[in-house]
Amino acid sequence: MDSGPEHPVTSIVIAAIACLTLVLFGLGIATSIGVFVLWVGSIYLANATPPPSHERHNDGLITSESMGELIQHSSIPLLVIEDGKVSIANRAAKRVLGNHIIGQDSRMAFRQPAAVKLLTKKKNGATIIKGLVRRRDIWRMKRQKLSDLMSVIELTNLTAEADISRAHTDFVANASHELRTPLASIIGYVETLQDDSAALDKPTSQKFLDTIHREAQRLQSLVSDLMSLSRIEAVKHDEPTDLVDFVGLVERAARDAAGQERAERLELQLTPDLNVRGDQQQLEQLVRNLVDNALKYGHQDKPVSVVLESGKDANARLTVTDRGDGIDPEHLPHLTRRFYRTDPGRSRAAGGTGLGLAIVKHIVERHRGRLDIESSLGKGTSVIVRIPAVSDEND
């Protein structure tokens, strides 16, 4: 049985003789003893057995255990690959790829041609893989080698960025289309008037001018709504703090939206003393958009009701209801999308821009509220807005 390293007796004897000699030459006894102790201590340290490799923490070696502790709580999916197999996966990686990947061949864990190609490379690198978890997922996979047999894999989810980019592209395309339509109509009629003005009678010319005016107004409304949407999105993270008399605001904005020609169709049921923290201009726009939509798409001989009441959880509940044809259930989840129309022809004929409910949704979100749309075919549609209420100015 190994008893450890032998005592370096010879070295200790030499140290003792040297210290005695120093005493003979006049060096103090205390000093000589101190030198002897340091000398013997250095001899033992020089001959001590080094600790096992698994107990060395500062020798520059990276172990799988230390890597596991390091990456376990990261929110980014991280995996350690050793000799071609997944030896460690943190919680985030297991949520993406499953718990079964530990000990699995790394190529089988990913099963993506681009990922397999990266894993078989001898150098570091990165690649884009699609459909890792769901069909439309997009991930960036990055590989960093730590040694010949060990590497770290980092996964970054790019799906949200891709969705935002796609939505931006769709928005620009839709906005361009919506702007192009009235512009084409205006240009066409103006060119006709310029080329054939002498051949056109007055009623025809007036009809053309009325069309140009109508399309110009539509273009103006579209630009105005686009600017409103942009302004709302610019401050969507800033929670409003002004105290607003919601009852007075709803009544005023609803009557403005109806105007004199549609005032008789408006039915108001307003609970008094309901205040909210909000942006007055945006809340007025919200009410005007909802009331205008209800008056446009409800039956022209039936009323539109605007009800403001105290809802559950200390909310001010605003409900705008028309008595129209209703909306097919398949359209309801998409109504707040920009430029979404259930009936494009009818919407354009009514002067709609396709942005009204998108603006409403963003205003509600900024006010930390909730928007719901309910509809029954043949009966009508109700839009419900809930905004946190305050009892007085000190709340």
- Residue 187 and residue 194: Cα distance in Å, rounded? 10
CATH number at residue 108: 3.30.450.20
- What is the pLDDT averaged over residues 361-384? 93
Do 206 and 334 belong to one domain?
Answer: no
Tally of domains in the chain: 4
Distances (CA, A) of 363 to 258, 359, 390: 21, 6, 18
Q: Nearest to residue 112, comparing CAs of 135, 92, 91, 89?
A: 135
Give per-residue pLDDT as tens, 219-239. 888 888 888 888 888 888 888
The whole-chain average pLDDT of the chain stands at: 82
28 CB-near residues (< 8 Å, 6+ apart) = none
- Residue 97 and residue 94: Cα distance in Å, rounded? 5
Whole-number pLDDT of residue 28: 62
CATH number at residue 222: 1.10.287.130
Q: Would residue 53 count as lying in a domain?
A: no
What is the number of alpha carbons within 13 Å of residue 314 lying toward its C-beta?
10
Do 263 and 357 belong to one domain?
Answer: yes
Q: Nearest to residue 266, comparing CAs of 236, 238, 291?
A: 291
Q: How confident is the model at residue 319 (pLDDT cuts 50, 70, 90)?
A: very high
Whole-number pLDDT of residue 305: 95
CATH number at residue 251: 3.30.565.10
Q: Nearest to residue 118, comparing CAs of 84, 142, 137, 152?
A: 142
Q: How confident is the model at residue 170 (pLDDT cuts 50, 70, 90)?
A: confident
Whole-number pLDDT of residue 194: 84
Two tokens, residue 121 = 């490379």
Comparing 47 with 122, which gets the higher pLDDT?
A: 122
Task: Find out whether 104 and 86 touch, Cβ atoms under 8 Å.
Answer: yes
Do 74 and 210 belong to one domain?
Answer: no
| Highest mean pLDDT of the ranges 3-7, 129-133, 316-320, 330-334 | 316-320
Comparing 161 with 383, which gets the higher pLDDT?
A: 383
| Domain boundary, last residue among 157, 178, 199 | 157
Q: How confident is the model at residue 3 (pLDDT cuts 50, 70, 90)?
A: very low
Q: How confident is the model at residue 253 (pLDDT cuts 50, 70, 90)?
A: very high
Give per-residue pLDDT as tens, 61-71. 555 566 666 67
DSSP calls for 64-95: HHHHHHHHTT-SS-EEEEETTEEEEE-HHHHH
Q: How confident is the model at residue 46 (pLDDT cuts 50, 70, 90)?
A: low
Do 264 and 373 belong to one domain?
Answer: yes
Do 228 and 117 belong to one domain?
Answer: no
Q: Would residue 125 count as lying in a domain?
A: yes
Distance of CA 2 to the CA centre of its chain: 64
Do 381 and 273 belong to one domain?
Answer: yes
What percent of the chain has pLDDT above 90?
26
Q: Would residue 372 count as lying in a domain?
A: yes
Using DSSP, state whether 104 is helix, strand or coil. Answer: coil
Q: Would residue 54 count as lying in a domain?
A: no
Do 252 and 356 belong to one domain?
Answer: yes
Do 291 and 384 belong to one domain?
Answer: yes
73 CB-near residues (< 8 Å, 6+ apart) = 90, 91
For residue 169, which amino acid is it? Answer: T
Whole-number pLDDT of residue 345: 65
Whole-number pLDDT of residue 48: 58
Comparing 199 with 377, which gets the higher pLDDT?
A: 377
Give per-residue pLDDT as tens, 108-130. 888 888 888 888 888 888 999 88
| Domain boundary, last residue among 204, 234, 264 | 234
Give per-residue pLDDT as tens, 7-39. 566 666 666 666 666 666 665 666 656 556 556
- What is the pLDDT averaged over residues 101-105? 88
- What is the pLDDT averaged over residues 250-256? 95
Specify the DSSP element, H or E, that contains 191. Answer: helix 159-196
Whole-number pLDDT of residue 54: 44
Q: Would residue 56 count as lying in a domain?
A: no
- What is the pLDDT averaged over residues 286-312? 92
Task: Find out whether 233 and 362 touch, Cβ atoms under 8 Å.
Answer: yes
Q: Would residue 118 count as lying in a domain?
A: yes
Q: Would residue 59 count as lying in a domain?
A: no
Number of Cβ within a 10 Å radius of residue 378 = 8
Distances (CA, A) of 374 to 9, 233, 265, 288, 312: 96, 25, 21, 19, 18
| Domain boundary, last residue among 214, 234, 254 | 234
Specify the DSSP element, H or E, that contains 290. Answer: helix 280-297
Do 124 and 177 belong to one domain?
Answer: no
Do 218 and 121 belong to one domain?
Answer: no
Do 90 and 17 belong to one domain?
Answer: no
Give per-residue pLDDT as tens, 257-295. 998 889 899 999 999 889 999 999 999 999 999 999 999
Q: Would residue 259 count as lying in a domain?
A: yes
Q: Can you give the residue range of the structural domain that contains 197?
A: 164-234
Number of Cβ within a 10 Å radius of residue 349 = 10
Do 207 and 251 belong to one domain?
Answer: no
pTM, whole model, 2 decimals? 0.61
- What is the pLDDT averaged over residues 232-257? 91
What percent of the chain has pLDDT above 70?
79
